[in-house]
Amino acid sequence: MKKAKRLNALALSAVFTMTVILTACSSNEGSPENQNGIKPPKEGEQVTLKFSFWGDTIEKKTVTEALKRFEQETGIIVEPMHVPSDYLTKLTTMVAGNVAPDLGYLSSGAALSWAEDGKLLNLTPLIESDPDFKKEDYLDQIWYDYAPGKTIGMSTAVEGYGLMYNKDMLLDAGVELPPTEAGKAWDWDTFIEYSKKLTLDDTGKNALDPAFNPDKIKQYGFQYDPYNMMAAVVSNGGNFLTEDGTGFGLTEPEAIEAIQKLADLMYVHHVSPTPLQTKSLPDMALQTKKVAMTVSGNWALQAFAEQDFNLGVGVLPKLKESNTLLDGAPTVIFSSTKHPEEAWLLYKYMADPESVLPLIAGGLWMPLKKSWYTDPELISKWASGNKAHPEGYTESFMKQTLENGIRTPGFEVKNLTKINALVTPALDLVWTGKETAEQALKGVEPKVEPLIQGYYGR
């Protein structure tokens, strides 16, 4: 009896001690004075970094876990700040109030103009003095230079564009599957013909049939957010500004032709939903067979992989040359940080594909390092053998983005946010069929011209 009592007391005190230790641990975890475990990199005070980012739940989880691992490996404490919506509003307020995070995602337009205002750190000195970091290891297109020789860093991830389609629908219609190699890309007429074959009205006639009723379309051959029209523009040899950066590129003949061809998909060939009709399409238009083919950035693969249909990928149809768009908002270090070296350590860590592998293998991101596009062993870690990266992905997205990926205007066009505030309403008129591309863009050109300031970093 006495023995039992003593055992009880022992157990009790053990539990008690454990509780005290555990409580101590958990209360210590969040405090910056945490001295248990890993030694901080510098003598003296504990470094804490604040990292701000956006993203859905999967991205939030992966990024937070990567930050935690960084914390464990280096002893630098990282406070994740996830902002699910109104990101730029929040960041603008924080920067204006001098309480900016140390580093984080930023939209491209704000990033470059804030860099000019000295709100962001020029990373060039850090890169040059870092023996472990070689700029050449990373893709050439992803750097955000705000002046010659001055950079705010890299895009957070690479996003290449390509064709995505429901394989079963193409096989059913007897359409040959879109090529995955740049050299074999469909020309525009082939693309229109196949899109017509895949567009059906309510009686099941396709758009090649003279009796086809364009007012009662129940399946569209091709859907595409027309505001991503730059993919067609660059394929036709145009760009947002003229090469020397002094003129409005969208009013050049190549750009107008490309934009008109996109509008014609809706109003002449009736193979694409108009923006209004798109509003009524479900998010899962490919799975539900409302749409056969779509063009989107790489990130769409993540959602498609979770849906239940036979996903296929191919290179974009070409106008003049086969290429693709490369997109991605930057991650930056704010100049108000008190710990630039530690922030750079974290910056490098997050740029390493290994740190954020779940997002890359899951289809949301493409890696920043060249070796992940060329080394078969690294490629097999993400770009093949999983549902988000179907057969042909390595050719049509990975290789195409690396070799023929053309940066979106966000990487380099100055004053883009304000220019777009004029260009978007003008394009509204084109996509709603009220004006031709030439009328709308030439109409807005006189207003756009005074806002053109050329390219960053040139």
Size of the site for other proteins (CB under 8 A): 28
What's the closest the beta carbon of residue 287 comes to other proteins, in angstroms?
18
Q: Of the candidates 223, 142, 184, 175, which has an alpha carbon nearest to the alpha carbon of residue 405?
A: 142
Q: Is 422 in the site for other proteins (CB under 8 A)?
A: yes
Given a contact cutoff of 8 angstroms between Cβ atoms, the answer to whether 77 and 34 are in contact is yes
DSSP reduced 3-state for 133: coil
- What angle, 0 to 180 degrees and rounded to 10, lies between the N-to-C axes of helices 108-116 and 87-96? 20
- x/- mask, other proteins, residues 243-282, rule CB under 8 A, reads --------------------------------xxx-xx--
Q: Is 213 in the site for other proteins (CB under 8 A)?
A: no
Closer CB to other proteins, 133 or 267, in the complex: 267
- x/- mask, other proteins, residues 428-447, rule CB under 8 A, reads xx--x--------------x
Show contacts with other proteins in window 278-317 (CB under 8 A): 279-280
- x/- mask, other proteins, residues 374-413, rule CB under 8 A, reads ----------------------------------------
Q: Of the candidates 94, 161, 120, which has an alpha carbon nearest to the alpha carbon of residue 328?
A: 161
What's the closest the beta carbon of residue 422 comes to other proteins, in angstroms?
7
Q: Is 99 in the site for other proteins (CB under 8 A)?
A: no
Given a contact cutoff of 8 angstroms between Cβ atoms, the answer to whether 200 and 206 are in contact is yes
What's the closest the beta carbon of residue 381 comes to other proteins, in angstroms?
38
Closer CB to other proteins, 398 or 426, in the complex: 426
Query: Which CA distances in Å does 32 have to 77, 281, 287, 336?
Result: 7, 50, 49, 19
Given a contact cutoff of 8 angstroms between Cβ atoms, the answer to whether 144 and 153 are in contact is yes
Closer CB to other proteins, 95 or 326, in the complex: 95
Q: Residue 23 region, left (φ>0) first, then alpha (ψ -120 to 50), else beta?
A: alpha
What's the closest the beta carbon of residue 268 comes to other proteins, in angstroms?
21
CA atoms within 13 A on the CB side of 108: 24
Closer CB to other proteins, 113 or 322, in the complex: 113
What's the closest the beta carbon of residue 56 comes to other proteins, in angstroms?
18
The distance between the two most distant Cα atoms of the chain, rounded to a whole number of Å, is: 99
Q: Report the distance separating Cα 272 and Cα 374, nearest Å.
A: 36
Closer CB to other proteins, 332 or 366, in the complex: 332
Show contacts with other proteins in window 52-91 (CB under 8 A): 88-89
What's the closest the beta carbon of residue 451 comes to other proteins, in angstroms?
10
Q: Is 196 in the site for other proteins (CB under 8 A)?
A: no
Beta strand 48-53 pairing with 103-105: parallel
Q: Report the distance separating Cα 41 and Cα 365, nearest Å.
A: 31
What's the closest the beta carbon of residue 445 comes to other proteins, in angstroms?
14
What's the closest the beta carbon of residue 79 comes to other proteins, in angstroms?
23
- Which of 113, 155, 324, 355 binds other proteins (CB under 8 A)? It is 113
Q: Is 425 in the site for other proteins (CB under 8 A)?
A: yes
Show contacts with other proteins in window 127-166 (CB under 8 A): none
Q: Report the distance separating Cα 253 and Cα 247, nearest Å.
A: 13
| Pair of tokens at residue 186 | 């469909």
Q: Report the distance separating Cα 104 and Cα 91, nearest Å.
A: 10
Query: Which CA distances in Å does 179 have to 165, 313, 393?
Result: 12, 9, 11
Q: Report the distance separating Cα 329 and Cα 407, nearest Å.
A: 11
Query: Which CA distances in Å does 346 have to 69, 103, 169?
Result: 11, 9, 45
Q: Is 202 in the site for other proteins (CB under 8 A)?
A: no
- Which of 110, 121, 142, 255 binds other proteins (CB under 8 A)? It is 110
Closer CB to other proteins, 111 or 182, in the complex: 111
Closer CB to other proteins, 114 or 165, in the complex: 114
The sign of the CA dihedral 78, 82, 87, 90 is: negative
Residues forming a β-bridge with 311 = 166
Closer CB to other proteins, 128 or 225, in the complex: 225
What's the closest the beta carbon of residue 196 comes to other proteins, in angstroms?
22
Query: Which CA distances in Å does 46 have to 24, 162, 287, 397, 441?
Result: 18, 46, 51, 43, 55
Q: Is 114 in the site for other proteins (CB under 8 A)?
A: yes
Q: Is 417 in the site for other proteins (CB under 8 A)?
A: yes
Q: Is 92 in the site for other proteins (CB under 8 A)?
A: yes
Residues that bind other proteins (CB under 8 A): 88-89, 92-93, 95-96, 110, 113-114, 117-119, 275-277, 279-280, 417-418, 421-422, 424-426, 428-429, 432, 447
